[in-house]
A = this chain, B = another copy of it.
């Protein structure tokens, strides 16, 4: 599998490019609108055909590149609830398999950060990848105080779905703010302070008392992302 982690400096977003090296089919996870020209350049340089672009959830901190990529490449565009996002060609659901050449992405429904949060796992010749969106971050988790976030749901998504994956699974999140690029399930179980609370009630208490400011771009980003990232004025 051809695999590239790409970083957006403005929103600290990680975007992931996965491609089948034989069929040259590719998928992008969590693309950012302003970086679409860079993705298109990379796809061309690597001789890849984009067949799908996915968002792990409707983001509040950057504008999705799904609409621009669909226009440029006619790729499929997938989001949690396709009825809520103008351009989305497909919705996601727990257990859905997305095929990109010989690569299979397995979809996990992981609500909690938002009500439309999904994660993806990939097995590449025995190496397990988790694309964890904002559900599980390196030494953190997404917040739960907007977009129908729910700390009880997040606790269940983390403990019943993500932390039961093989411990060597590589964790690739949608963001990191300290310059770290990857972790593992084992490492997060041992070190992530958000996984320390011994009960769901203690986790809910922790999450309900974070008292965080809203993301800077939230008022712009959420409606823009529901329009698939196509802004009224480019």
Instruction: Identify the A interface with B (CB < 8 A).
Output: 4-9, 35, 38, 42, 45-46, 178-182, 187, 190-191
**B6 and A9 contacting across the interface, CB-CB below 8 Å:** no
**B4 and A179 contacting across the interface, CB-CB below 8 Å:** no
Chain B residue nearest to A10 in the complex (CB):
B179
**A180 and B6 contacting across the interface, CB-CB below 8 Å:** yes
How many angstroms between the C-alpha atoms of A105 and B7 in the bound complex? 27
- A180 neighbours in B (Cβ, 8 Å): 4, 6-7, 38, 42
The 4 closest A-B pairs by CB, nearest first: A7-B179, A45-B191, A5-B181, A6-B179
The quantity of this chain's copies bound in the complex is 2
Chain B residue nearest to A190 in the complex (CB):
B45
* With A35-B179, A38-B179, A181-B181: A187-B5 Cβ-Cβ less than 8 Å: no
**A181 and B45 contacting across the interface, CB-CB below 8 Å:** no
16 other contacts beyond A45-B190, A45-B191, with CB at 8 A cut-off?
A: A4-B180, A4-B181, A4-B182, A5-B181, A5-B182, A6-B179, A6-B180, A6-B181, A7-B179, A7-B181, A8-B179, A9-B9, A9-B179, A38-B178, A38-B179, A38-B180
Chain A facing B: main interface SS: mixed
Looking at the assembled complex, report how far the CB atom of A21 sits from the nearest CB atom of chain B, in whole angstroms. Answer: 11
Max chain B CB contacts within 10 Å: which of A35, A179, A190? A179
How many angstroms between the C-alpha atoms of A5 and B182 in the bound complex? 8
Chain B residue nearest to A46 in the complex (CB):
B187
- A6 neighbours in B (Cβ, 8 Å): 179-181
Looking at the assembled complex, report how far the CB atom of A194 sits from the nearest CB atom of chain B, in whole angstroms. Answer: 15
How many angstroms between the C-alpha atoms of A65 and B86 in the bound complex? 48
- A179 neighbours in B (Cβ, 8 Å): 6-9, 35, 38
How many angstroms between the C-alpha atoms of A8 and B178 in the bound complex? 8
Looking at the assembled complex, report how far the CB atom of A43 sits from the nearest CB atom of chain B, in whole angstroms. Answer: 12
Looking at the assembled complex, report how far the CB atom of A190 sits from the nearest CB atom of chain B, in whole angstroms. Answer: 7
How many angstroms between the C-alpha atoms of A8 and B181 in the bound complex? 11
* With A180-B42, A190-B45: A7-B4 Cβ-Cβ less than 8 Å: no
